[in-house]
Amino acid sequence: MNCKIVSEFIAPYINLELSDETHAQINTHLEKCPNCKIEYQAQLGICRLLSEKLERLEAHQGLKEQIMKKTIGSNKRSLCFSEK
Ligand SMILES: [Zn+2]
């Protein structure tokens, strides 16, 4: 198992798509190879960030639609002045 192969397997490794044997080999390599470990952590960070961002974006999108529905329409004016 060399760095080039490991770098190609990092994504499926994170997604637990590898066989037990390959997973263990990557695991062993990551433990002794700082370069690949950095690569792994970077990809892991991106994966987590992406899924968090996506969840937030979806929440945002729903909220935005609600606000749009509430603000667009004939009672837009009263909505603006109904605060307080
Ligand atoms: Zn390596």
Instruction: Give the CATH number, domain containing residue 76.
Output: 1.10.10
> In total, how many domains does the chain have?
1
Q: Read off the pLDDT of each residue in 45-57 and give the average, rounded to a whole number.
A: 81
Distance 19 CA to ligand 1 centre (A): 19
Distance 31 CA to ligand 1 centre (A): 9
Distance 12 CA to ligand 1 centre (A): 16
Give percent above pLDDT 90 in the chain: 46
Exposed / middle / buried, residue 76 (Cβ in 10 Å: 0-12, 13-18, 19+): exposed
Q: 6: alpha, beta or left, given left = phi > 0 and alpha = psi -120 to 50?
A: alpha
> In the predicted model, is pLDDT for residue 82 greater than 50?
no
Q: In the prediction, which pLDDT does 40 show?
A: 94
Give the residue with greater pLDDT, 51 vs 75. Answer: 51
pTM above 0.85, yes or no: no
Looking at residue 75, the DSSP 8-state letter turns out to be T
Return the biggest CA–CA distance within the chain. 68
Please choose, from the candidates 14, 16, 23, 17, the residue with its C-alpha nearest in 3D space to the C-alpha of residue 48: 14
Binned at pLDDT 50, 70 and 90, residue 75 comes out as low
Distance 39 CA to ligand 1 centre (A): 9
- For residues 14 and 43, the answer to whether their CB atoms sit within 8 Å is yes
For residue 31, give its domain range. 3-81
